[in-house]
Amino acid sequence: VEGTPERPRLSIFRSNKHLFVQVIDDTKMHTLASASTMQKAIAEELNYTASPTIEVAKRMGEIIAKSCLEKGITKVAFDRGGYPYHGRIKAIADAAREQGLDF
């Protein structure tokens, strides 16, 4: 999946303890927006102790969508990073769509 200036790539990486979401313009090799559960403000807001749940993933989708919309990004190419479209990945995508991002 390639990201362009008109339609940057929404990339997801998940680990056992954290979620990372980035919006990337691959032509310029720039990260336009990002959010992760390791960021202090987000970690304190979500306040979870174990691995990220679907509720945490939904909130991450809302956060990245708001960040994109503030920067004028309305369309993205969804890069699920090889993960099945299920569970936390689906929750991020659904929440971002509900906030107004167009996949």
Structure tokens at 65: 């969508």
Contact 85, 103 (CB under 8 A): no
What is the pLDDT at residue 52? 85
What is the pLDDT at residue 11? 98
pLDDT along the chain (103 residues), means of 10: 93 94 96 94 82 91 97 96 96 97 94
Distance CA 73, CA 68 (A): 5
- Domains, the chain, ordered by start: 9-98 (3.30.420.100)
What is the pLDDT at residue 48? 73
What is the pLDDT at residue 99? 97
Check residue 82 and report its DSSP letter: T
Structure tokens at 22: 């980035």
What is the pLDDT at residue 87? 96
Position of tokens 């362009």?
4
